[in-house]
Chains A and B, each alone.
Chain A
């Protein structure tokens, strides 16, 4: 069984992902990730040419079928208040969050 994602690496990506996990959830997920990496490691067997291009999309996008860039014309959204309306916390038309801690270094 793969142990590529060690507990240390795992904890680091959990932090980067802005998550926190219960202990049993963490162990389950870490085991699954390592199993998945076993599957992913199959890719190492694929011979790749230097010039095999990376494919960001499957279908090609030649210019003749690609949507043209947007014209620079003002098209306001009618109900910005509805966007504000779904905020968990709003005040004076602002979205509100707790503060970001900052040190005073004088």
Chain B
């Protein structure tokens, strides 16, 4: 039997996180709103209305296009795509067909041990349709979502496995959030992805009949759906059957694919230029203004963390998973000015836990990068011990006060006064004759217990190393 490889292209729809819809002043986000409350004459397609383009949609599209290495066009146009469907109140969708905002583009997708070059074949702005649902032989239509701004972005058939599909979507989601162009939540439909899947004999360059997987609403589910479809196709081909161009519907409950009703005729959308909108003219000044806000991109930053800071890939991945965390790390690193890995460890172990527990993003922390750096320095200088340092993270986050202020107010500075520690140690030794006897009888591991008692008595402030030395001196005497 020959070995097969999968050939997969993804068609994604990205809901932009603008304040308003693409062509009217209604809110873009209707999550949780009752049906048909977030509508106006324009998005509900009343007779006589006209669309007016939202500036922010163009700006976000340009940011994304640049980040995808696409060629942003100075002049682009909107077109009408004509068809009848109850979720489309005008009977046409305003989209970009032959002269879109950007051409080309690609993403170099880092995989375990190799990089996958994924080309973009389509990137344009368009409006979303409404939502319909079945209800006992009738269809109920809600226009709240009509006119929500979308970017449609389609890849070439460059992905070769279900893992690559998942990796691409994870990287895309990361990028969309990084650029603040979309919330990119697949469960909420902010990011939708349909996969075109075919297989071929490994090494061959032909493109075979493909199936299209639709209605999957999480990256993990899409990974399973694609994997299942690849296996099914291999089985069919090995059994000598032909692959037919089906559209497949994913059922989340049963985790299975089923065939959707095939289209009887090829639709003719009769695209033509939308006469109600002018050319989208992106002059140099506007473009420069948009791109002035472009941050370093996650994959570039990840690469830099590895090469410049010498961080392990694992650290670099986590520290670039999300922009505000990454910016936080950079800022803390600058403020600290020492061992990068040390900052990385504090961040990955303790700050991340804080973020997860409190459901926060790094940019929302009262524990600023400068405060984090200060705490690490306090520990480095033995001003506080490590447990106190870690406790300080939470205290700073709770109060918003500076670490120095808290150390001062709560008297948390490490006690390195030998006299005081000796006094406490002597007291502990005097109060615990049994333990002393055991220790002296050879159970030297009890030293840790004695140190703990001193720490407790000093309310954590004693320098534990010094306490150990003093105790040893007293006990071994």
Contacts and interface: CB of A to CB of B under 8 A. Distances in A.
Direct contact of A and B (CB under 8 A): yes
Interface of A: 16, 18, 56-57, 61, 63, 66-77, 80, 83-84, 91-100, 102-103, 105-106
- Give the one of A68, A75, A91 with max B CB within 10 A: A75
B36 A83 contact: yes
28 contacts: A16-B268, A56-B77, A63-B283, A66-B278, A69-B53, A70-B20, A72-B19, A72-B56, A73-B19, A73-B25, A74-B25, A74-B26, A76-B25, A77-B25, A77-B41, A80-B39, A83-B36, A93-B34, A94-B140, A95-B86, A95-B140, A95-B141, A95-B143, A96-B138, A96-B141, A99-B139, A100-B86, A105-B259
B281 A105 contact: no
Interface of B: 18-20, 25-27, 34-41, 44, 46, 52-58, 77, 84, 86, 134, 137-143, 258-261, 268, 273, 275, 278-281, 283
Given A66-B278, A70-B53, A99-B134, A80 B58 contact: no
Contacts of A98: 137-139
B55 A71 contact: yes
Contact of B140 (A18, A77, A91): A91
Nearest to A84: B36
A95 B39 CA distance: 13
Nearest to A70: B52
B281 A63 contact: yes
A61 B278 CA distance: 8
Contact of A99 (B27, B46, B53, B138): B138
A65 B51 CA distance: 18
A8 B332 CA distance: 73
Contact of B19 (A63, A66, A74): A74
A92 B25 CA distance: 24
Contacts of A69: 52-55, 58, 280
Nearest to B34: A93
A10 B147 CA distance: 34
Contacts of A18: 84
B54 A70 contact: yes
Contacts of B139: 96-100
A93 B35 contact: yes
A74 B20 CA distance: 6
B89 to A, nearest CB: 9
Given A77-B26, A80-B37, A105-B258, A72 B142 contact: no
A69 B34 CA distance: 30
A97 B273 contact: no
Contacts of A71: 55
B458 to A, nearest CB: 57
Among A72, A93, A99, chain B packs the most CB atoms within 10 A around the CB of: A72
Nearest to B141: A95
B27 A76 contact: yes
A72 B138 CA distance: 36
**Chain A to chain B: the 4 pairs with minimum beta-carbon distance, closest first:** A75-B25, A77-B40, A72-B56, A94-B140
Contacts of B20: 70, 72-75
A72 B278 contact: no
A66 B260 CA distance: 46
A80 B36 contact: yes
B40 A97 contact: no
Given A56-B273, A94-B142, A95-B140, A103 B52 contact: no
